[in-house]
Amino acid sequence: MKMNPFQNNEQIIQIILDSIPAWVFFKDKENRFIRVNKTFCDIMEMSKKQLEGKSVFDFFPREQAEAYWDDDKKVMASGKPVRNIIEPMDSKHGKLWVRTDKIPYRNPEGEIIGIIGFSIEITELKKAETDLKNLHANEVLIRKELEQTLKQLQDSFVKIKELQSILPMCSYCRNIRDDKGHWSHLESYITKHTKSNFSHGICPDCLKKHFPEHAKK
């Protein structure tokens, strides 16, 4: 009798799982791995035998392990998937970034008996995202510096223009000639070309000169 190359469904399932490029893992309600695929074993650099039956607390720093376990408990408590979990993971290759989806793992009766997780590494994507943010921040900083430099240059040009300006003034009546050749009183010229206004009075010297009778009082 010819033997079936697949002795049972478990073997078929495992072959399918091992062909998936994502990290796939099943965990029970006690936070133990009960099944993992080859991709997950490769990144952990451990065999299935070394991983299955162990908890995340056996492999990861406590803070990371608690974060993973908290996500598992949310899925099991709500009965709903949690998707797009972006989180760091310490590995023998250094710090990695992964994106994980977790769904409830149910038995044939529909009872939740754990979770099934699917993770992919996004370290390069995360690095590119960080580089892009840094590039944008640098661009904003450079733009602000350019704006400040431009303002300083504009202020400098105004000061230079003020220093270089020569106003043609009549030596006798003190009228000023504008750039169109028109003559106007000093007060009118200044009022027109600045925000200044004039109020009139008499200084003590002029009072004595022109109104001596009032100066004595």
What fold does the segment set 9-125 form as a domain? Beta-Lactamase (3.30.450)
Mean pLDDT, residues 139-153: 79
Higher local confidence (pLDDT), 60 or 215: 60
Residue 158 neighbours by CB distance under 10 Å: 10
Query: Which of the given ranges, 104-108, 132-136, 212-216, has the highest pLDDT on average?
Result: 104-108
pTM: 0.57
pLDDT higher for 183 or 211? 183
- Given a cut of 60, whether residue 2 has pLDDT beyond it is no
153 pLDDT above the threshold of 90: no
- Residues listed for the chain: 217
3-state secondary structure labels for all residues of 5-68: CCCCHHHHHHHHHHCCCCEEEEEECCCEEEEECHHHHHHHCCCHHHHCCCEHHHCCCHHHHHHH
Q: Which residue has the higher pLDDT, 217 or 73?
A: 73
- Mean pLDDT for 165-193 is 76
The three-class DSSP label of residue 77 is helix
Main-chain phi, psi angles of 194, to 5 degrees: -135, 180
Work out the percent of the chain whose per-residue pLDDT is above 90.
Answer: 41
Q: Is 109's pLDDT higher than 80? A: yes
Residue of 148 and 159 predicted with greater confidence: 148
The residue among 132, 159, 117 whose CA lies nearest residue 33 is: 117
Report the side by side order of strands in the sheet with 82-91: 33-36, 23-28, 112-121, 94-106, 82-91
The pLDDT assigned to 1 comes to 44
- pLDDT by residue (tens digit) across 59-77? 999 999 999 999 999 999 9
Report the mean per-residue pLDDT for the chain: 83
From CA 13, how far away is CA 116, in angstroms rounded? 14
**Where in the chain do CATH 3.30.450.20 domains reside?**
9-125
pLDDT value of residue 115 = 97
Q: List 82's β-bridge partners, or say none.
A: 102
Predicted pLDDT of residue 145:
80
